[in-house]
Structure 1
Amino acid sequence: MSDFKDNLSNMMCLDLYLEARSHTEYENLKLRIQPLNHASPLLGLDLYAASFQAEVELGRRKKDLQDILDFAPGFNNQIDPGIILNTSYDALVLTNLAQKIQWVNKGFSKMTGYTAGFALGKTPRFLQGKDTKEENRNRIRQKLLDKEVFTEIVVNYRKTKEQYKCEITIIPLTDANRNISHFLAIEKEVA
């Protein structure tokens, strides 16, 4: 058995080790090999880890979608689930018509360093700073007035004062009378 363990530690996998044995040696070893009670869904751990991470990410997105619909059930028919489930993003921010933050997902705190409690009631301008360009601010103001979906990249600042570029897609949401009442921002840090 010692020889088996020593040789096995030098081999890449049990299959290769067993293949190199004679038929008689294989038959003797076969009795000592115990199968696992469970197996990973994939043979390669790196593939399994990537698959697992993708499942975790999808679960996070489903939770974000459910949280926003729980917060504002009137938006059920307005928010295309595919936008949240199939889009890569770091944060979701819901503002009212006055652009005051009403709700943020957990990703917002992770990306900015600010808690949800701190952000609620403020405008997203608190994330801006000296390198946030005025022309970007003006474009965003105009596009909000146009009340159409748009994407813009802005320079924002974390709580630590570290600068980052943020791609923001804004989706206007309407009330029961079809008047715009909120904006949903889908935010992603970009290089």
Structure 2
Amino acid sequence: MKPTLNRMKSLDIFINSLSVDDYKEIKSSLVEDDTLHVNMLSFDLHIQNLEAVVKRSTIQNDLELLKRYAENKNWNEDIETILLKNSFEALILTDLNRNILWVNDGFSKMTGYSKEYALHKSPSFLQGKETSEEIRIRIKEKLKENKPFKEIIINHRKDNTSYKCELHVFPLKNNNKTTHFLALERQIA
């Protein structure tokens, strides 16, 4: 019998430690089990869902913070619906003048810039030589329309590498007057 260690149970290990004579002595008392046994360690179950749990937790944290902003600023938009119905890696909250007031952790992961560095800057600091002037102008025009929009732009990380970024921008309104913008961003292929 050639054992495979990763499939051995305690009894298997014990039996393999016996001498041939000792094994012959107990062999008749051993019963073969035809049932399939599945090893289920709590870690096995947890690790399979860890990414989903972390993502839900992150979205929930972002949502709670944005709900506090929404309450304070009396926004009319349903922030929860916006976050749950749209894919994103990074969130950027700006004032009407496009000064960054808040970014989530995903922003730092995607861009390499710290939250502190991004604050009070315009999101245009992510643009660089590969960013199309035509798209820059189109984004400015769409912001003036005060309607949600999507756009794809070439942004640049802190390490100067470029990436294709899908922006989904939502104007946030108080009494039908835009006061802030929320950008949901994700890197696309």
Q: Which residue of 1 aligns with 2:181?
A: 183
Larger Rg: 2
CA root-mean-square deviation: 2.8
Q: Is the 8 A contact 2:76 2:173 kept in 1?
A: no
Identity %: 40
**Are residue 9 (structure 1) and residue 5 (structure 2) matched?**
yes
Q: Which residue of 2 aligns with 1:161?
A: 160
Deviation at 1:10, TM superposition (A): 6.7
Q: Is the 8 A contact 1:172 1:183 kept in 2?
A: yes
Q: Is the 8 A contact 1:69 1:76 kept in 2?
A: no
Q: Describe the superposition over 1:75-118 as per-residue Cα deviations: whole angstroms up to 9, x where unpaired.
A: 56513413313533110000111111111111111111111111
Q: Which residue of 2 aligns with 1:51?
A: 49
One-letter amino acid of the counterpart of residue 49, structure 2: S
Q: Residues of 1 paired with 2:150 and 2:85: CA distance?
A: 17
Task: Give matches, 1:1-191, under 5 Å.
Answer: 7=3, 9=5, 11=7, 24-26=29-31, 39-40=41-42, 45=44, 48-73=46-71, 74=73, 77-175=76-174, 177-191=175-189
Q: Residues of 2 paired with 1:56 and 1:107: CA distance?
A: 12
TM-score (norm 2): 0.76
Q: Residues of 2 paired with 1:23 and 1:77: CA distance?
A: 77
Q: Residues of 2 paired with 1:75 and 1:169: CA distance?
A: 21
Structure 2 gap segments, 5+ residues each? 13-26, 34-38
Q: Is the 8 A contact 2:99 2:123 kept in 1?
A: yes
Structure 1 gap segments, 5+ residues each? 30-35
Q: Is the 8 A contact 2:164 2:188 kept in 1?
A: yes
Where does structure 1 differ by over 4 angstroms across 4 or more consecutive aligned residues?
A: none
Q: Residues of 2 paired with 1:101 and 1:63: CA distance?
A: 19
Q: Residues of 1 paired with 2:76 and 2:65: CA distance?
A: 15
Q: Is the 8 A contact 1:61 1:84 kept in 2?
A: yes
Task: Provide the secondary structure at the position in 2 that maps to 1:102.
Answer: strand
Deviation at 1:142, TM superposition (A): 1.0
Count of aligned positions:
167
Cα separation, partners in 2 of 1:139 and 1:50, compared to 1, 3 Å: farther
